[in-house]
Every structure is written in structure tokens, then in C-alpha cells.
């Protein structure tokens, strides 16, 4: 039986290996992240922002300075969290993975960001991630999904920096998981790295519970009983 990716990320091999390999790049590119412009355009005054898979918190720091928001993160790498505590102690980051956020209150986040981490979610946990995100995202809030965008769903064999060879990651249009709910609508979709076999994308969704369902066009009026003479 294949081990769960969530366990692999949390036990230090997966999360810390990713940070060792990608941490410097993620720090350098934070200011150029397209989610900054998307929030400025569609929700310029967010009170609270959550990033799932936030690495060392560099993007959250950019967002906190730009919008004055309270920014929190979830990250499986203890090394990345220790780095964040050293260089940006004002950013609160908890160790965890997508879908595991019981400490966050209902409708407590104005923006939720998934920055290239949904492809690592175990398929058995995917619907739990959708439900948890919907629970914490406020009405009129934004959901920003950054990930690779293949022409069709793909399972990719992955040889990790830790040399564990029995893992896959999964590429798909993750926004469709939320768009099945009529409370969610797509505001923007942009391909921001052209030329790759699997171009990266940013998809921005808005949650609007008030506009989810059209009023029923008529009321049921039961037939009246005829009076018996």
C-alpha cells in the first residue's frame, strides 16, 4: 500500500526536502507572485488572509505589507517554519497540511491561497480539503489557486529529493472542485508561465452564497377541494 503523502510531508522527509530544494527560489519570487495583483483587483481590503503551503511565509509578508491584512499560514516543513520565525516573526504559521485547520473559525478568512500544494494532496483527502476551505472562507471571499494546468488530469511519477520513489503527484484543474458548488464563480484565469509542458496558472474564485441559487419561479399551490353540496 502506498504511504500517504501527508505523512511524508509532515515527517520531515517531504516538507523539509522541498524547502531545502525550493526555499531560496520561493523567497526570491514572492513579490512577483500574481496573486498579489489578483487580490488588489478583486478584494483590495482583505482583513485576514490564509496561505496553505506557505513555505517560509515570504508571500504572506508581502501581502501583509501591501494590504495591512492579518496573514496566517499552514506549512508542513518545520525548517521553513523556523526560518519564518527568525526572519518574519509577525507572520503566524502552523505546521500542517491542506484540509487540517480545525483551529480556524467558520468564515474567518477573506482570502485563501493554495500555492502549488493541491497537487500533493492525497486523493482520499481531496474532498475534505474542499469542505474545510469552504467552511473557513467568508462570504464574498476569494479563493486563489496557483498550480500547474495540464490539458487533462495527469498522475505524475515523482522522484523526490529524499529519494523516495513510490509517490505520484496529480495535475488537474483544481478550481473545478469548488465550481461544482454554485456559490463559487470564476473571476479570473491566467497562464503565467508559457512554454512549459504543464503551464502554471492562477485561478481566482469568489464565494457568493447570496447569489448561489435563483429564486424558485413559482410557489406550489395545491389544488383546492371542491365543496360538496
3-state secondary structure of 72: strand
> What pLDDT sits at residue 185?
98
Chunked into runs of 10 residues, the chain (229 residues) has average pLDDT values of: 65 70 76 94 97 94 97 92 92 90 95 93 93 98 94 81 65 96 97 68 97 79 69
> What pLDDT sits at residue 107?
98
Contacts of 70 (CB under 8 A, 6+ apart): 47, 48, 49, 64
Alpha-carbon dihedral angle through residues 53, 142, 110, 43, given to the nearest 10 degrees: 120
> What pLDDT sits at residue 1?
41
Contacts of 84 (CB under 8 A, 6+ apart): 54, 56, 57, 73, 75, 91, 93
**Phi–psi pair at 73, nearest 5 degrees:** -140, 160
- Predicted TM-score (pTM) of the model is 0.87
> What pLDDT sits at residue 33?
92
> What pLDDT sits at residue 193?
65
- In angstroms, the CA 51 to CA 28 distance is 17
Question: Hunting for cell 487540517 — which residue is that?
Answer: 100
Contacts of 135 (CB under 8 A, 6+ apart): 106, 107
> What pLDDT sits at residue 209?
97
> What pLDDT sits at residue 219?
67
- In angstroms, the CA 12 to CA 27 distance is 20
- In angstroms, the CA 91 to CA 62 distance is 11
CATH number belonging to the domain at 5-23+39-210, selected among 3.60.20.10, 2.40.50.840, 3.40.50.150, 3.40.50.300: 3.40.50.150
Amino acid at each position: 500500500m502506498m504511504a500517504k503523502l501527508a505523512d511524508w510531508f509532515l515527517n520531515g522527509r517531504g516538507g523539509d526536502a522541498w524547502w531545502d530544494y525550493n526555499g531560496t527560489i520561493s523567497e526570491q519570487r514572492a513579490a512577483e507572485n500574481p496573486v498579489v495583483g489578483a487580490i488588489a483587483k478583486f478584494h483590495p481590503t482583505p482583513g485576514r488572509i490564509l496561505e496553505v503551503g506557505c513555505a517560509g511565509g515570504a508571500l504572506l509578508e508581502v501581502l501583509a505589507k501591501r494590504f495591512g491584512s492579518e496573514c496566517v499560514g499552514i506549512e508542513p516543513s518545520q525548517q521553513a517554519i523556523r526560518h519564518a520565525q527568525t526572519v518574519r516573526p509577525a507572520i503566524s504559521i502552523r505546521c500542517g497540511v491542506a484540509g487540517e485547520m480545525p483551529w480556524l473559525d467558520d468564515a474567518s478568512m477573506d482570502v485563501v491561497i493554495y500555492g502549488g500544494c493541491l497537487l500533493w494532496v492525497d486523493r482520499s483527502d481531496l474532498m475534505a480539503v474542499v469542505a474545510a476551505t469552504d467552511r473557513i472562507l467568508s462570504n464574498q471571499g476569494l479563493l486563489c489557486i496557483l498550480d500547474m494546468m495540464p490539458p487533462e488530469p495527469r498522475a505524475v511519477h515523482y522522484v523526490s529529493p529524499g529519494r523516495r520513489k513510490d509517490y505520484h503527484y496529480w495535475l488537474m484543474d483544481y478550481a473545478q472542485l469548488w465550481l461544482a458548488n454554485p456559490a463559487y464563480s470564476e473571476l479570473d484565469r491566467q497562464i503565467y508561465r508559457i512554454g512549459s509542458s504543464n503551464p502554471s496558472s492562477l485561478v481566482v474564485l469568489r464565494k457568493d452564497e447570496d447569489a448561489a441559487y435563483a429564486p424558485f419561479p413559482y410557489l406550489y399551490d395545491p389544488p383546492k377541494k371542491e365543496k360538496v353540496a
